[in-house]
Structure 1
Amino acid sequence: MRFAYFLHLFVYVKSTELQFCETGQSEECGNDKGPNSRWSKEWSEYKSLIKNAAETYVECGHTSSGCSYCYDETIKKDLSPFADGISKETLDSAKTISRITKYQIIDGQLFRSKNCMFPFRCSGIEHFLLELVKDLPNTEFYLNTRDWPMAGRHFGSAVPVFSFSKTKDYWDVMFPAWTFWEGGPALGIYPNGLGRWDEYRKTLSSAAADNPWSRKESKVFFRGSRTSAERDPLVLISRKNGKLVDAKYTKNQAWKSSKDTLGEEPAEEVKLEEHCRFKYLFNYRGVAASFRFKHLFLCRSLVFHVGDEWLEFFYPSLVPWFHYIPVPSTADQQMIQSIINFAIHHDGIMREISENGANFIENHLTLNDISCYWKTLLLEYTKLLSFPISRDQTLIRIH
């Protein structure tokens, strides 16, 4: 999911004013057939990238037990720094991390540090571990429940710490976030978090059925707090052209004044199922990877994914230009304008990409796939432990 191969595609338009193509303007705004058309060169290159992605894409299969093959390479890559084995000394180096959580599986029973930094997050993780515990060998691992990864590569030797999200600058081993079961971000409209993934899949699939592509509003939509300035260009475009872009900032816990929402009062939060009314949905990272990403696909809308730095375990299996439209995190207003105009005037292609993304999430990101990932991860990880596991009496049993 690197963007270097397409950064050159985004160019500045000559006009200093943002100009958007609208349906019916193809001859004067965005017709990519003529050699002198405003965006003919970059639009042709976009289509080449889409064509190449479709021609080279290989669909993942499933095992006889229904486990997706899509994530095997992610597990292999995450564990590769520890290919020579994980000694007791190496593993114990993780326990120096503040408020890290230790887990053990001993004779089919699950044990954990007495105190978990975020109890609901631990509970969301333990749902899957308890399902699998009878089928797993004795093992132990350290797990980080913060949003931010903990084992930075610049600190020296690899440290095996499980985290839900990371960048290439961290050793952390990715695991499926607690939010697949519980412990998701609490918002005004979701005071108890987003809830179980399997249940919200049904909610979003129903909303998508109520809002098929042909009836979706041809508009870019985004709601979220200002956790990063990367989001500013889209919000500023919306303030200039609200007809085609509806992007506004909402409050977060750190909000104090309109300065925290780029000079305007915060907008109301919008439920994810309401996003399904729009054809084009933007996804930005938050503090780390965005919890909303997987949900947006199920609207069967076109997802624009901004930035490739932050990952969850399933991100590497999503293919840019086939499952979603990639946008660099450095994109300014002119860059974003170019790709939005392209989407507006290539409706059929965009619908196909939206279907590809939705089908991947529906077929390869079920609760069964989450359980399969945990099982494969722990089996492969445990093979690397070079010491016998002995019961840590300071841990409590989790039932």
Structure 2
Amino acid sequence: MIIMLKKFYILHHFILPLLLLPLLSNYSDAVNHDTCTSRNDWSIVEKNKYLPEFNIEDDLYRKWSKIFDTIQLAYQNYSESFANKNDATSCDLFIPLINSDLRYFEENFGSNFITKEFIDKMIAAKHGVHYQIVGKRLYRQSDCMFPSRCQGIEHFILEIIDQLPDMDLIINVRDYPQVGRYFPKEQQFPVLSFSKEVSSYADIIYPAWTFWSGGPALDIYPNGIGRWDLMREKLLKIQCKLSWNKKKNVAFFRGSRTSSQRDPIVMLSRSRPDLVDAKYTKNQAWKSKADTLGDDPAKTVSFEDHCEYKYLFNVHGVAASFRYKHLFLCRSLVLNVESEWIEFFYPHLKPWIHYIPIDKNFENVIELLEFLNENQLLASRIAKRGFEFIRDQLTMKTIRCYWQQLLTLYSDRLISYRPLKPNSTLIEIH
């Protein structure tokens, strides 16, 4: 009797919420690709709600109780704490990260500490590109290390330039953050970077240039991935054609060896090809087979073709991985290897809710893949929830909103000096 009650509790307080949460979601994407999603999901529920994994007499809970309990705890502690879920123009969800980034400098330097002298020190330190906004016009130093990256940044600033006050900015276009928390105080400058390791760096995060231009240059993307809005369209269309049951039942990875953190996935693929298909591709730094762990480089695989697989690995490279947001739009289940590297939207993607966390030492990866293969409906639910978050919350409108909120709050809270006219060494950006 006690066992039956425990099972009944698990069914009603864990399994049923997993089934119902996706159905209560609002399909508010501007592109009407949600129809195929909602129709398929209703049919899955009606067809599979009495499958063995949801039967209180089944042995699956006893076999996987540790993982089930972890997922249940994640759902109990999770709440969608944003009020404007259905407002595609709002970025309220992401404001806490802006506040956190700015607070670090306020606590260490005080409010409105950026003077003309401080700006001169920032420029001299050469941690990034010097931008200036004066009279609703945008100016930049003449040289930019990565022109396409500057173009991506300038696209978003120019879209909101009429709403911005006059200010100077240092924006880092390198892959790596520039301001270590361990630096002497006099070397800690409020530089904007697209990514950082949160415990080690104090850079203020901005949405990466890759939402508009640039990104890793590959043979199939010679100018970088670019244009998030266009790639969204492609992936939203392709995922409609690939229901969960049509996807290949292996975990997939293709990418270059920008970090040795990716090596265990490739090695696991060689020992367990039944579970993992992972190979290194060739990048600009490739010199020999040693750079691809002794194998010939594999062909680059488009994001659209990633969608053919149920499970997709994400591992950081030099910094945060640009592929992360794209993987979710396949409506495949993202296996995210634990890391402190983030972009601005990462903090609201939660383990076991939107993706499956993989231990950075890969000690649990085989067990998790076997668990997912035995609990397919649960796996598809988590995949769908991650898909919906990126589809609904990471739009071009919310990215523009984030830029506007970031630069406005940066100006209000950190800056005391306002340029009256543009610096004569800068060029105007049209």
What range is the shorter-chain TM-score in?
Answer: 0.7 to 0.9
Structure 2 SS opposite 1:154: coil
Whether 1:48 and 2:84 are equivalent positions in the alignment is no
Residue in 2 that maps onto 1:118:
146
Structure 2 contact 193–206 (Cα < 8 Å) conserved: yes
Residue in 2 that maps onto 1:235:
266
1:388 pairs with one of 396, 403, 418: 418
Residue in 1 that maps onto 2:114:
87
Paired amino acid for 1:98: K
Query: Structure 1 105/264 Cα, relative in aligned 2: closer, same or farther at 3 Å?
Result: same
Q: Deviations over 1:154-188 (max 9, x none)?
A: 11223100000101211100000000000111101
In structure 2, distance between residues paired with 1:51 and 1:96: 52
- Gaps of at least 5 residues in structure 2 are 1-51, 53-58
Q: Note the 1:98-247 alignment, pairs <5 A.
A: 98=126, 100-157=128-185, 158-167=188-197, 168-247=199-278
Structure 2 SS opposite 1:289: coil
1:62 pairs with one of 84, 95, 118: 84
Whether 1:259 and 2:290 are equivalent positions in the alignment is yes
Structure 2 contact 88–392 (Cα < 8 Å) conserved: no
Q: CA deviation at 1:33?
A: 4.0
In structure 2, distance between residues paired with 1:119 and 1:352: 41
Q: CA deviation at 1:326?
A: 1.0
- Gaps of at least 5 residues in structure 1 are 1-23, 25-30, 35-39
Structure 1 SS opposite 2:92: coil
In structure 2, distance between residues paired with 1:250 and 1:369: 33
Give the RMSD, CA atoms, in angstroms: 1.9
Residue in 2 that maps onto 1:305:
336
Paired amino acid for 2:255: G
Q: Deviations over 1:49-93 (max 9, x none)?
A: 222222332223328672132101110111112222232244433
In structure 2, distance between residues paired with 1:233 and 1:199: 33
**Bigger Cα displacement from structure 2, 71-80 vs 82-91:** 82-91
In structure 1, distance between residues paired with 2:216 and 2:298: 18
Structure 2 contact 339–360 (Cα < 8 Å) conserved: yes
Query: Structure 1 128/247 Cα, relative in aligned 2: closer, same or farther at 3 Å?
Result: same
Q: CA deviation at 1:345?
A: 1.3
In structure 2, distance between residues paired with 1:183 and 1:232: 26
Residue in 2 that maps onto 1:349:
378
Structure 1 contact 281–303 (Cα < 8 Å) conserved: yes
Q: CA deviation at 1:236?
A: 1.4
Structure 1 SS opposite 2:177: coil
**Bigger Cα displacement from structure 2, 150-159 vs 353-362:** 150-159
Q: Deviations over 1:103-127 (max 9, x none)?
A: 1111111111111111110001111
Count of residue correspondences: 362
The structure carrying a bigger helix percent of its residues is 2
Q: Note the 1:326-365 alignment, pairs <5 A.
A: 326-332=357-363, 335-365=364-394
- TM-score w.r.t. length of structure 1: 0.87
Query: Structure 1 314/33 Cα, relative in aligned 2: closer, same or farther at 3 Å?
Result: closer
Paired amino acid for 1:293: Y
In structure 2, distance between residues paired with 1:362 and 1:342: 27
Whether 1:296 and 2:327 are equivalent positions in the alignment is yes
In structure 1, distance between residues paired with 2:231 and 2:83: 24
% same residue = 46
Q: Deviations over 1:178-212 (max 9, x none)?
A: 00000111101111111310010010111111111
Paired amino acid for 1:297: F
Residue in 2 that maps onto 1:325:
356
Query: Structure 1 362/33 Cα, relative in aligned 2: closer, same or farther at 3 Å?
Result: closer
